[in-house]
Amino acid sequence: MKKSECLNEVVERIIYQDEESRFAVIKVRVKGFSELVTFTGKLISINLGTVIEAIGNFTINKKFGRQFNVM
């Protein structure tokens, strides 16, 4: 089992958001990464420019590349 990480970062882009299920795909600026990182999972009250704290794991999706899957 992978060790979970806690990231506290700024939302740069909202790719997809379902208000009913709260599932979202967002792009976040993460320290140490040159490109925006994709976050996926159940996320509450996501707005551009807000700072979010998320716990999860980095994975590699065959189609979409590196993602941070929020628990």
Number of domains in the chain: 1
* 8 pLDDT higher than 90: no
Task: List pLDDT tens digits, range 9-63.
Answer: 999 999 999 989 999 999 999 988 899 999 999 998 889 999 999 999 999 999 9
Output the pTM of the full model.
Answer: 0.88
CA dist list (Å): 3 to 33, 42, 61: 19, 19, 18
DSSP β-bridge partners for residue 53 = 8
The pLDDT value given to residue 57: 95
Structural domain boundaries, residue 48: 5-70
